[in-house]
Structure 1
Amino acid sequence: MTAASTPKGERRRSALIEAAAELLAEGGFDAIRHRAVAERAGLPLASTTYYFDSLDDLITAAVGHKGREELSEGWAQLAELSTEHRDLDAVVELLLDQLLGVDTRYEAVLLRYERLVTTGRRPYLRPLMRAMQGEFHELLTEILRRSDMPIDSDRLRQLIALVDGAVVNALIEVDPDPRAVARAMLRKALAADRPRRE
């Protein structure tokens, strides 16, 4: 039995992952450093290298933890959806909560997109991100299905790309409001889809 597989070891490892995930959400990938994670977790500096083979392993665990946390929140939000009819604006907000997060601050949206873009520069994250993307697409598809707006996987990818493009363009504006720009684009796209389904 290794130290990491003991109850105390699991608690320490979990504390380090949670600390790293918090730092990721607050400051992006550059915020995840051995010392910062250990301090946030209230553990000795050596614990980061004891429980993780490398900083990349710790980052992967943090990204996975944050991604699973967001997916869990999305599935919980979906479970609370009533079976009553939702208007287009309500559907758009539900989708934006998943795509951009419920924290509408510019910095929060920027950090969320940084996580996606950085995956391209960190190949070790790609398998994890691909696996989570599959579940994320299932979540979005189910939200739309329960909202009487079923779409196929190609159309879902188009809608995600539309929102991503709108957000990235909005991030460079003088007074950026990425959610407002994405809201307008997504609403228009879904409104155009609706007549074909009725």
Structure 2
Amino acid sequence: MADAATGGTAADDRRTPRRQARGAARRDAIVHAAAHLILHEGPGAVTHRAVAARADVPLAATTYYFTGLDDLIAAAGQVVVDGWVQHARDAADRAGRRAAAPHDAPAVLVDAVLPAADAAEVRGFYEHLVGAGRYPTLARAYAQGRDRLDAALGHVLDALDVDRVSPGVLVAVVDGAAVSALSEGRDVRALALRLVAELLEGRPAPRPGRG
């Protein structure tokens, strides 16, 4: 039966939400495919063809939902930040559940910032992170998401009752440790743990082999 006001039918009305849901799912798949490419191959790998292949959608879909690659990269950057935020929230939940002892705090804080990945993936992550600044759209997406990441890390610090370290300082120390370790062929997590322990204690921690 036709709708007198719009000329449509009741069947059309029922199909519209389904079409909208399919459209949202397809757009989501495209954004997540772009985010995967950013993290694993770098922003330069984000092309319409590569994203369509990764998302298993027609090539035209990548231009239907986004005005261009910058628009797609901006959306994908927010998905990447969402992953970092969830990673930190999970660390806060774990710390809250197990009532971490003070000596556990460095490990909890490092794990809240470092990606949960093997050495090769950690290297790839930081290579991508350092290179993100060459892509202004991606850099803006990361900058816009920084408040959410800091808030999530703030919950981790609160769960550990650490009030003398800010989220920004924590990220700077862990990221700095990672870049130093990677450039010098050292273990990333070990160096990050030592430096975060020093940060929490307010003094240099003893170095191995020095008593």
Shorter chain as normaliser: what TM range? Answer: 0.7 to 0.9
Aligned-partner residue type, residue 189 of structure 2: R
Q: Does 1:137 align with 2:150?
A: yes
Range 30-39 or range 120-129, more displaced: 120-129
Kept in 2: contact 1:88–1:187 (CA 8 A): no
Q: Distance in 1 between matches of 2:47 and 2:120?
A: 20
TM-score normalised to structure 2 length: 0.76
User: What is the 5 A alignment of 1:3-82?
Assistant: 6-82=20-96
Q: Distance in 2 between matches of 1:152 and 1:182?
A: 15
Q: Distance in 2 between matches of 1:145 and 1:29?
A: 34
Could you say which structure has the larger radius of gyration?
2
Partner of 2:173: 162
Q: Report % sequence identity.
A: 34
Q: Does 1:98 align with 2:112?
A: yes
Partner of 2:200: 190
1:37 to partner: Cα distance: 1.1
Q: Distance in 1 between matches of 2:112 and 2:170?
A: 13
Aligned-partner residue type, residue 158 of structure 2: R
Q: Distance in 2 between matches of 1:77 and 1:157?
A: 17
What is the root-mean-square deviation in Å for CA atoms of aligned residues? 2.3
Q: Distance in 2 between matches of 1:88 and 1:34?
A: 49
Deviations 1:137-190 (A, max 9, x none): 12222211221211354xx4333322222211111224x422221111111221
- Structure 1's consecutive aligned runs of 4 or more residues displaced over 6 angstroms after TM superposition are none
Tell me, which stretches of 5 or more residues in structure 2 are unaligned?
Answer: 1-18, 204-211
Q: Distance in 2 between matches of 1:172 and 1:118?
A: 15
Kept in 2: contact 1:52–1:58 (CA 8 A): yes
Kept in 2: contact 1:25–1:108 (CA 8 A): no
